[in-house]
Amino acid sequence: MSFLRNLLFGKYLIITNTVSCGVMMGVGDVIQQRREQWKHRSFRSPEEIDNTINDKFTLTITQCTTSFMAEDESNKRLVTLANRLDDSGNNHDVVRTRNMTAIGFMQGPFHHYFYLFLDRFLPGKSVTSVIKKTFVDQIVGSPTCLAIFFFGHEMLEQGDPREINAGVMDKVIETYKVDCCFWPPAQLINFLFVPMQYRVIYINLMNVFYNVFLSYTKYVSN
């Protein structure tokens, strides 16, 4: 156990941190997509629900006919098929989660080195040092992460950094305002109570909440 701990939080801390950044970003997006579907389902009009049921029914009939015509048919397969159709409202956007995870990976090394740097230049847990750290984190760390997030997405989507549109900067600034309410309290707790080597892990947990919000800003709000 302690051997594993030494590897994960010692020598290979940067890898642990980077992987966890990616995973947390993916988890945040999965939660946000679930929320969107749940909302979508609760607020559909009766006509919409009718249409979906009709579509599903037509699909089922077509599929059943095809299945019966095939030779290797069994009831079991039909049941599986029906279940799958029943789930068709649950379409998860895998590419979206993949992109979010990729962005998380991009933020990982920055997180890792930034907190090493912060602890080296503002060591200790005195109140002044903690407040300074929180301040530097909010002034330097947060905007950098948001920039990596939004510009990273633009790069994934455009494939060409030169085509990034100016509107991205507005999104970074809007998001930064929310960031300023969320992160300083979370970071004060972090710097006061969390041991150095668990810091990025703690941040990642906070990040799950925050990433749900980021996923929402990126894909839902306009």
Ligand X SMILES: *[C@@H]1O[C@H](CO)[C@@H](O)[C@H](O)[C@H]1NC(C)=O
The distance of closest approach from Cβ of residue 220 to ligand X in the complex, given in angstroms and rounded to an integer, is 12
Binding-site member from 18, 20, 33, 99 for ligand X (CB under 6 A): 99
Q: Please answer whether residues 202 and 190 qualify as being in contact, where contact means their C-beta atoms are separated by less than 8 angstroms.
A: yes
Q: Which residues contact 37 (CB under 8 A, 6 or more apart)?
A: 89, 90
Contact call for residue 35 and ligand X (CB under 6 A): no
Number of residues that bind ligand X (CB under 6 A): 5
Question: In this chain, which stretch among 50-58, 94-102, 131-139, 181-189 interacts with ligand X, using CB under 6 A?
Answer: 94-102
Q: Cα torsion at 165, 148, 35, 45 (round to 10°)? A: 0
Contact call for residue 163 and ligand X (CB under 6 A): no
Residue whose token pair is 């990034």: 164
Residue whose CB is less far from ligand X, 84 or 98: 98
Q: Please answer whether residues 47 and 131 qualify as being in contact, where contact means their C-beta atoms are separated by less than 8 angstroms.
A: no
Question: What whole-number distance in Å separates Cα of residue 151 and Cα of residue 175?
Answer: 13
Per-residue binding string, ligand X, 119-158, x by CB under 6 A, is -------------------------------------xx-
Residue whose CB is less far from ligand X, 149 or 210: 149
Binding-site member from 1, 69, 70, 95 for ligand X (CB under 6 A): 95
In this structure, how many other beta carbons lie within 10 angstroms of the beta carbon of residue 7?
13
| Closest residue to ligand X in the complex (CB) | 99
Q: Please answer whether residues 146 and 175 qualify as being in contact, where contact means their C-beta atoms are separated by less than 8 angstroms.
A: yes
Element spanning 129, H or E: helix 127-136
The distance of closest approach from Cβ of residue 23 to ligand X in the complex, given in angstroms and rounded to an integer, is 18
Q: Which two tokens stand for residue 80?
A: 């599986």
Question: In this chain, which stretch among 28-36, 54-62, 64-72, 93-101 interacts with ligand X, using CB under 6 A?
Answer: 93-101
Residues near ligand X (CB under 6 A) are 95-96, 99, 156-157
